[in-house]
A and B are shown apart, each in its own frame.
Chain A
Amino acid sequence: MKYLVTDDSKLARLSLIKSLKVTVGEAEIFQAENGLVAVETMKKENVDIVFLDLTMPVMDGYEALPKLLEHNKNAKVIVVSADIQEKARERVIALGAQLHMQKPINVEKMKELLELINNV
């Protein structure tokens, strides 16, 4: 299983990766600091699960989301954002995200969301 963690904040990426490693053990985890790098990583690595922030420089999550799915329609995209507005949730789900989660993702939340996407 390949994972891609996309966030402009190094803290957010490291913190999410820490929770991910505790939950799934050692895994192939890629990092991207914006949507454009995420799309390029997807083209090269064909990752299975993408954690995607929304507010990022260069290319934001809204723009990156359909491009990610264009390259791998089977990928599961989990939006992890501070933007918890209902309209933001509706928008990312309409764009193809599986889940919209509020930051930060601790180990408990990570377990919960991985269980949820396995049932989607």
Chain B
Amino acid sequence: MTERTIAVNYLARVEGEGALRVRIRDRTVEEVELRIFEPPRFFEAFLRGRHYTEAPDVTARICGICPVAYQMSACHALERALGIEVGGTLRELRRLLYCGEWIESHALHIYLLHAPDFLGYPDAIQLARDHPEAVQRGLALKKAGNAIMRMLGGREIHPINVRVGGFYRCPSRDEVADLRGEVVRALALAEETVRFVAGFEFPKVEEDYEFVALRHPEEYPLNEGRIESSTGVDIDPADFDGTFEEVQMPHSHALHSVHKGAGSYLVGPMARYALNHDRLSPRALRVAQEVGLEPVVRNPFRSVLVRAVEVVYACEEAVRIIDRYRPPERPWVEAPPIDHPTHGAAATEAPRGLLYHAYDVDPSGLLRTAHIVAPTAQNQKRIEDDLRHLVTRSLDLDTPALTFACERAIRNHDPCISCATHFLSVELVRE
């Protein structure tokens, strides 16, 4: 009897603190644990008793990589609780801000965190010594995303201009128009990015995922839509809790999500693309076709291509919004006074996938409960499934090679552990 443990005690190039432990006895994978030891920060507890107007700024602090996603899900959930609708130009501006975050976050993952795995470098700094043009392109793209967030949100990390009902101040036409040149250049860089990553070598793997994402009648989903899945789920985001549930595992500070009665599922770029590729913009579709991207991608290593196509979409959508922009009459929609306890839930598409928020608000405007389900928490169980399959078919690899393969399999999903807890170390036990 032989036992082998694969252990990564601190996974690199992911956001947050996690570890992986895999135990193999003879030739059977006995245990796969993606351990999230990122310390818990208890957001849902201390949101109780805060005023609803504080939720977008407070929940943004769950994650420095995708604060806009938290602000958007919080606003939409609270607007549903308050019975207000934010449409027209304000809705367009929200999409623009979200495009900025998608561009920044995806460019960060593609170039700084993920590309080194495919090209054989420990990081983008080393990669830049041999491929300076690639890293410069990634940084320029990332910078364009940040420029959108800075113009509209005030700053890239934890923007200050988002409020329930809209914005504190809407930009002038000139402020928005000034961004156009940089975003148009970013669109070309994004197309080059798709061609660049299409040249990577992808291990041949197919996983049988249940994909879960928003779907909107007209748009590639960012802020709104129904929650749909590749196995037929089609629900209003308010019914999330009826269909999905969170279970707590002893090895992790993140709660695992499962589709009730069905098991693990996947959210994020691969899921969005599988369910919504028909909603992509013309240039995004054209470049996806050019590099031969299949309409449903089941190879997690090819997620980097999907992310790149989404960056093209986000740049194109941003240019569209910039070109049509006229400042609205009022920067926000005023909420009516509340006279009874109320509840609201909503989901938006964070760069890493579906982000669900639900709140109970009392008549004084204070939050009685808050419930937040982050994308990486939803994906955690599914990532463990990927790892189990990977290790089972790669038992002949020596431990260092197998450990590296496991780390790559985790990075395929761009996990954000800060979100999920709300950290990653890999331990592989061979028995």
- Decide whether A and B are members of one complex: no
Interface residues of A (CB under 8 A from B): none
Residues of B that sit less than 8 Å from A by CB: none
